[in-house]
Amino acid sequence: GFTAAMFHVVTHAFFKACLFLGSGSVIHAMEHVEHGLHKEGKDVHFDPQDMRFMGGLKKYMPSTYKTFLIATVAIAGIPPLAGFFSKDEVLAMTMNAGFVDGGSWVYMMLWGVGIITAFLTAFYMFRLTLTTFHGSFKLPTKIKEAVGSEKFLHENPWNMTTPLWILAILAIFGGFLGVPNFIVETFTHEPAHINLLHDWLYKVNADYSIVMSHALEWGLMAVSILIAISGVWLAFRMYNNDQQEESDAKIASRFGGLYSVWKDKYNLDDVYEGLVANPTVKFSDKVLAVFDMKVVDGIVNAIAGTVRLFGSLFRYLQTGVVSSYALAFVIGVIVILYLMIS
């Protein structure tokens, strides 16, 4: 179990980082489109992170598209990419825990939750990829002033795409660090040691190692693959070739108010803004106002007051009488001579 968790953290770093950087590459390109329209004197504003304005970007951003697709396949759990091996091992260990030491229905339930989550992950990630990169560029159809704006779309420079390719390659081959031993053992009928990560962590994980039957492992792997493919198939069925608006309209008509709740993300943003963000901002404003008045202004006023105090003291020396200045000069010379002699 521990090895599976560590394995998934490692592979997750590869494909999830690739997806984040790929998203940044797309956002950067969309911002370039907006700036290009502004240079033409068009007052066009849109959210560069809104997928509804995208589409067809694979034609203009081939490197970003290919690396993003690789990372999407990996996170969806499609073999033989990294996400498949690590996610499958986590799910397998969870299921098997239900049979060890008397077992528990809790592990079965957790495995079921994991399977549902795996399906949703494959679905929404391919929905994201298809909506962003496939079909046609939708900004000109959404905003009339943006007609012809696709001329501003282009691939980002090498210093942005190189990290994408490095992470994409790791997302492809990183899973071979933890290829399950049972795959080889099934055919050789001898103990195998191809799971490098498991062998490396065995000394710290020996007390928690779990032995599973090969039949169970193959069965769970088949279920995992079937679930991932089902999610991908549904995404293609609903969102390939500019079907987003049509699919969303069908969902809205079928689920009605529930669709609105989903679209508004269960209103969690509104709840967070009302219960956390706004009260925090108001409280911070009050605290900062007091801090600014008492501390910042206090320090400034204290320095100014000190300068005024010394200024008022030295003002008494400015009598305007020449003889007083001459006397002060003589006294100063005497003091200097005394200090030099002594």
| pLDDT tens digit sequence for 191-243 | 555 556 666 666 655 545 556 676 777 888 899 999 999 999 999 998 887 77
**What is the full per-residue pLDDT of the chain (342 aa) written as tens digits?**
677 778 888 899 999 999 999 999 999 999 999 999 999 999 899 999 999 899 999 999 999 999 999 999 999 999 889 888 888 888 888 887 777 656 678 888 998 999 999 999 999 999 999 999 999 999 999 998 999 899 999 999 999 999 999 999 999 998 888 776 666 666 655 555 555 666 666 665 554 555 667 677 788 889 999 999 999 999 999 888 777 777 777 877 877 778 778 778 788 888 999 999 999 999 999 998 888 888 889 999 999 999 988 887 777 667 677 777 788 888 888 999 888 887
Q: Can you give the pLDDT at residue 256?
A: 75
CB atoms within 10 A of CB 324: 12
For every residue of the chain, which 3-state class applies, written as one string?
CHHHHHHHHHHHHHHHHHHHHHHHHHHHHHHHHHHHHHHCCCCCCCCCCCHHHCCCHHHCCHHHHHHHHHHHHHHHCCCCCHHHHHHHHHHHHHHHHCCHHHCCHHHHHHHHHHHHHHHHHHHHHHHHHHHHHCCCCCHHHHCHHHCCHHHHCCCCCHHHHHHHHHHHHHHHHHHHHHCCHHHHHHHHCCCCCCCHHHHHHHHHHHHHCCCCCHHHHHHHHHHHHHHHHHHHHHHHHHHCCCCHHHHHHHHHHHHCHHHHHHHCHHHHHHHHHHHHHHHHHHHHHHHHHHHHHHHHHHHHHHHHHHHHHHHHHHHCCCCCCHHHHHHHHHHHHHHHHHHHHC
Q: Can you give the pLDDT at residue 207?
A: 46
Single-letter residue type at 332: G
End-to-end C-alpha distance for the chain, whole angstroms? 85
Closest by CA position to 77, among listed 195, 201, 227: 227
The domain locations on the chain are 2-263, 274-341
